């Protein structure tokens, strides 16, 4: 069995080769799009991260591929329908960062609630230790609305409870056993938006969650609420978020992810001067700059997953996915 492994970081190479000893592994640095001329009829397994888009064009280059092992929980960078047509199994890493991402969501929330960035910048830039303009608010007693009650959402609920918050949850798949154990209340999305002082997004991105928070329901959000997103950028419609900020519906936002973040990390001129400009994409990129410059918004570079422990869990689980596939018993298969 031959594996093509597209590195996220250089240190992974030695680690992966050691763990997959005896397997034919060819390693490339960077995402699959960096190798447009790469073709291989012998490859059976692709291992990629979220920066690698795998669609029909990529699958055509590896006609014998049988497994795509993504080193992520999310899988919107893979064309699942195309993979299914070709009989290709897709596996992911469902719970590597359950506590990791939830912790980061609270880091963003605490940064907003206690004005930590402003406090730091004031001392660093002016040397002033005045507390004027730096008053924050307690989390205790506030209502935390958790959108998505998967592995990460559960950890967010536990943390919210630890801060003494009231917790409500919106999820189309309700788990009564978890609800009873953790002591929260399931509500509709509209009720969550209307009742929450803080809304934190932990839902997967798919056709059902695209622009889950949008121009039609932004007005339903409790006035003065804070919004945290460590899931996927396109779950929140950017224009709706901007309107919410301008109209005072949303008091502040902590965003680890934004729409069109792939363009933001790359060369924006390609979007602007390309042969066929993507008008909607361009509008979103410009809107993202508004968010980045907004004094009540924290935009950070999709970093919630990024801890030493989580990264090793990602690779270890991916290696187990590859080994279990080799043994004829695929694990963590995306249905």
How do strand 143-147 and strand 166-170 relate by DSSP bridges? parallel
Close Cβ partners of 113 (under 8 Å, ≥ 6 residues apart): 136, 137, 138, 139, 226
- Residue at token pair 């990629």: 48
Q: Which of 155, 202, 302, 313 is catalytic?
A: 302
Catalytic residue among 103, 237, 259, 261: 261
Q: Match 């359950």 to its residue by tokens.
A: 98
CB 228 within 8 A of CB 254: yes
Q: How many CB atoms lie within 10 A of CB 251?
A: 18
Q: How far apart (Å, rounded) are the C-alpha atoms in residues 38 and 44?
A: 14
Pick the catalytic residue from 232, 237, 239, 259.
Answer: 232
Residue by residue, DSSP assigns 224-267 as TEEEEE-S-GGGB-HHHHHHHHHTTSEEEEEES--TTHHHHHS-
Contacts of 141 (CB under 8 A, 6+ apart): 164, 165, 166
Q: How far apart are CA 196 and CA 47, in angstroms?
A: 39
Q: Is 161 exposed, middle or buried (0-12, 13-18, 19+ CB in 10 A)?
A: middle
Q: Is 232 a catalytic residue?
A: yes
Q: Give the separation between CA 328 and CA 288, rounded to whole angstroms.
A: 45
Cα separation, 21 vs 4, in Å, equals: 14
CB atoms within 10 A of CB 23: 17
Which residue from 37, 102, 49 is spatially nearest to 76, judged by alpha carbons? 49
302 is catalytic: yes
Task: Quote the CA–CA distance of 42 and 1 in Å, as a whole number.
Answer: 8
261 annotated active-site: yes
User: Hey, which residues are catalytic here?
Assistant: 232, 261, 302
């Amino acid at each position: 069995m031959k594996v093509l492994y597209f590195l996220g970081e250089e240190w992974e190479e030695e680690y992966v080769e050691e763990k997959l000893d005896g397997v034919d592994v060819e390693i490339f640095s960077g995402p699959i799009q960096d190798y447009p001329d790469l073709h291989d009829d012998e490859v059976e397994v692709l291992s990629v991260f979220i920066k690698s888009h795998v669609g029909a064009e990529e699958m055509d280059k590896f006609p014998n591929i049988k497994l795509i092992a993504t080193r992520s929980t999310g899988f919107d960078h893979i064309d699942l329908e195309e993979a299914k047509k070709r009989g290709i199994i897709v596996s992911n890493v469902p719970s590597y960062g359950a506590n990791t991402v939830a912790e980061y969501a609270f880091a963003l929330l605490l940064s907003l609630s206690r004005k930590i960035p402003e406090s730091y910048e004031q001392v660093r830039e002016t040397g002033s230790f005045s507390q004027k303009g730096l008053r924050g608010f307690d989390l205790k007693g506030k209502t935390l609305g958790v959108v998505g009650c998967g592995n990460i959402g559960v950890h967010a609920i536990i943390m919210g409870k630890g801060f003494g918050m009231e917790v409500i949850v919106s999820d189309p798949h309700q788990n009564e056993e978890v609800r009873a154990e953790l002591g929260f209340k399931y509500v509709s999305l509209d009720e969550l938006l209307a009742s929450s002082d803080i809304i934190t997004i932990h839902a997967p991105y798919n056709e059902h969650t695209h622009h889950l928070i949008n121009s039609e329901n932004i007005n339903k959000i409790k006035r003065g609420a804070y919004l945290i997103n460590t899931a996927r950028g396109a779950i929140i419609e950017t224009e709706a978020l901007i309107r919410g900020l301008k109209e005072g519906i949303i008091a502040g936002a902590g965003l680890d992810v934004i729409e069109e973040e792939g363009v933001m990390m790359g060369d924006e001129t390609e979007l602007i001067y390309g042969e066929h400009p993507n008008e909607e994409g361009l509008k979103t990129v410009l809107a993202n700059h508004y968010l980045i410059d907004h004094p009540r918004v924290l935009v950070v570079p999709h970093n919630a997953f990024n801890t030493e422990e989580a990264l090793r869990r990602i690779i270890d689980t991916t290696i187990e996915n590859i080994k279990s596939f080799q043994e004829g018993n695929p694990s963590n298969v995306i249905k």
